[in-house]
A and B are shown apart, each in its own frame.
Chain A
Amino acid sequence: MMMTVTGVGVALPGADSAAALATASRPGDAVEPAAVLGKKGLRYKDRATQLGLCAAQRVLTDAGLLADGVLTVDGTRTAVLVSSNLGNVDTVCRVVRTIADEGTHGVSPMDTPNASSNIIASEIAIRWGLKGPNLMLCNGPASGLDAIRWGAALLRSGRADHVVVVGVEPDNEIARGLVGGPLVDGAAAVVLEHAQAAEARGATVRAVIGAHTRGLDVAGTIGELAEVESEPAAWYAPAAAAPALSQGLPVHDLAAVWGELSGALGVVQCAAAIGALDAGADGPMWLVAGTDSDDGVATLVLRPPVPAVQPAAV
């Protein structure tokens, strides 16, 4: 059973496509959700939710799952997985401070949905009627690649035919205080499908999902990967992981460009790698999220799409 990526959505400062992401050397202007989604329905939604919606709209459109704002596939067979660590931390901290200062009459009931961390995943489901499994992963530095892994697992288990995976982190004073620096304030997304399902609806395969591993350290997890995958053509990995990687190959440390990516990292890596593959880069791409000083390291391989087999001439 071959799993594939059939769409990429990017909503990063100054980058609105996989191609722009793959070539960006620094962030540009902030993402303006109202310009992407229209103003309607954005009021009271937190920044992370708005950014997640932008990436989701772009990926659904890019994958051909959305045409003229209408879903082209069965919403009950479409799952949503969102990865974010800091998503609603600002709302939670702001509310507790307001309660201490003014009592509960000072807080706004409009914050209630945002107090639940899964607000991003549920708002994406609501906007486009995606009624399949809906999961919010808040799993630390490796969370974005974990989301790709579990998205593929939902396909393999037969729980969904299409999976929308979004990685998003907002930038604000509270999130900066927790992670110790500025965050990306953006999102990226991919759509995952079975190769057969993609072919059946005429979708363009952008990458094939290879093996994944999760373990205690970088050297061990990429060692496991090397047992089942052919040599990488390039790495997408945090700078701190670089010493453990095979030398002489390009290493793309996306945090150096975008700031702290946290739970968005793995998904942004996928989008950037596919942007590079689209532009003709050699594969496979090996993705690493998490370092030896984190709770775990996740890896994932993305291979270039397999050329369609031409029928033999008769």
Chain B
Amino acid sequence: MRVPIIGVGAVASVGRDADEIFAGLCAGRGALGPMRGFDSGLYNGKQLFEIDDRPEGTDRTLRATGFLLDAVAQAAADAGLGDDLSGVPVLVGTGLRELRSAELWWRDGAPFGVDRLHFGTALRERFGTADTLTVSNACSASLYTLALGADLLALGEADTVIVAGVDSITESMHGLADRVQPNPPTALRTLDVNRRGTILGDGAAAVVLRGEHVKWPGGRLWGRLRGVGMTCDAKHPTAPDPAQVAEAMRQAHRLAGTRPEDIDMVMLHGTGTPLNDLVEITAYGEVFQEAAGRPVLTGIKPMTGHTSGSAGLMSLVTTLQTMATGKVPPLVNLDEPIEEAAGLRLVRAREEKHEVALAQVHGFGFGGVNAVAIVEGS
């Protein structure tokens, strides 16, 4: 499989479009700040990676929907599709849908209806598309929809597909994590011995995929999707299983027709929780074996926060920009890597120059839903 990726878009706490985000990430500039939409008096953890789009101390409904529409519009414009997407399926991966709006409806009486809990209603209003899908697959959701989008093209059901991911932080998710973190993390420290957990972030990302055999009028080619593996642990609702995480990597390589030793860069899921990072790096070592020391490894969550359902595509968009520029954003906050990461080429502290032709992107989520994408540069 070599599915052309012809447009990208993103919005996150670190920037309002894909270029601004990438510039921020390369500069090592994270966007962790005091929480704005929730009452900080209720929480131990008072910092989040929020998109700054409302006055401090207030919140409003449909922020996730707004982020999604922004990211999709950017990607469509980048691909030269314009604002009329009738006939273009839009597949959205999300962890939390518009559940933040449901919270505000139930708690504060904010106007909200079930027709906006999923994103099809807003996508149809804005872009005229009726073939939309909201997949609520926790933190690997947008890599799952990436797989579905590529499959749809391969089956000949569409010529062009937009795949997106989005989440805005819910108070219930932050609150439930906060409940068990009396000493909450003050920074997100992927693979660090002193990591103390993840911190949530707002974000949305989108890419435009074109069928391999569709005549293409030209425009920018960001790269090509080679394959996406997806597995389920079927073991525990919240704790990841290294065996199925490893299997998702192997499956991605089988589908892509590639080998671990071909990979130049791994974009880690790297949530900064004690368990995720350990499981992820253990599974990586098991799959890559003696090739484990070859690619560079990095991740974006220490600067974007854990953007949940959008995280996988946010990582993919960053990977495509690395391929285009040769710049690899660093894992900031990584002072002392865990023993299991010894001997690996971790990009730390500052941006590195590295030619990346083939990369592997990770997304793992609650429910043991694992997805791994392999992408090649143009």
Contacts and interface: CB of A to CB of B under 8 A. Distances in A.
The answer to whether A and B come from one shared complex is yes
Interface of A: 75-76, 80, 85-86, 89, 91-93, 95-97, 99-100, 103-105, 107, 109, 111-113, 115-119, 121-123, 125-126, 128-140, 143, 146, 150, 153-154, 156-157, 159, 174, 177-179, 214-216, 262, 294-297
Interface residues of B, number: 66
Contacts of A136: 135-137, 367
Given A117-B136, A137-B134, A137-B136, A107 B176 contact: yes
A169 to B, nearest CB: 11
Interface of B: 39, 42-44, 95-97, 99, 102-103, 105-107, 112-115, 117-118, 120-121, 123-124, 130-138, 144, 147-148, 151-152, 154-155, 157, 170-173, 175-180, 230-238, 244, 247, 365-369
Given A178-B113, A295-B121, A132 B231 contact: yes
Contact of A85 (B118, B138, B144, B147): B118
A281 to B, nearest CB: 30
A157 B156 CA distance: 11
Please name the 6 residue pairs, one residue from A and one from B, whose CB atoms are nearest each other, closest first. A122-B367, A295-B120, A134-B232, A93-B106, A117-B136, A113-B237
Nearest to A262: B114
Given A96-B170, A111-B172, 15 more contacts: A89-B102, A93-B107, A100-B107, A107-B176, A112-B238, A113-B367, A115-B170, A117-B95, A118-B369, A125-B368, A131-B234, A135-B137, A136-B135, A150-B133, A262-B114
Contacts of B138: 116-118
Given A118-B137, A133-B232, A137-B136, A97 B106 contact: yes
The interface centre, meaning the residue of B44, B120, B231 with most chain A CB atoms within 10 A of its CB, is B120
B366 A126 contact: no
A174 B170 CA distance: 17
A118 B366 contact: yes
Contacts of B118: 85, 138-140, 143, 295
A134 B367 contact: yes
A129 B234 contact: yes
Contacts of A262: 114
Contact of A216 (B123, B130, B144): B130
A107 B114 contact: no
B121 A119 contact: no
Given A138-B97, A295-B115, A119 B367 contact: yes
Contacts of B366: 113, 116, 118-119, 122
